[in-house]
Amino acid sequence: NAMAGVTEGIRELYSIDPLKKATFMWPGSEDPRFNQLFIKLRQTALITSLRKINNSRSNFQHVKKVIS
């Protein structure tokens, strides 16, 4: 079910705590510079999703691309 996946993705985005910087660890992402970039990308995806919430279908595809 595509919508279930989208809901899960959004729930995951909302679980980000930028202050802790303790986000979901991608496998093999022990490089701190990569982690910082990954956190920024996820924050960008969250901001983008909030801005484009009305255009949700294309937005979710964009967020999926950003975080995958």
Is 70 exceeded by the pLDDT of residue 40?
yes
Question: pTM of the entire structure?
Answer: 0.29
Two tokens, residue 44: 């960008």
Residues 42-62: pLDDT tens digits? 888 877 777 766 555 665 666
The pLDDT-based confidence of 11 (bands split at 50, 70, 90) is low
Residues present in the chain in total: 68
- Tell me which of 14-23, 29-38, 51-60 is least confident: 14-23
Taking Cα atoms as reference points, which of 30, 36, 27 lies closest to residue 68? 27
pLDDT for 49 equals 74
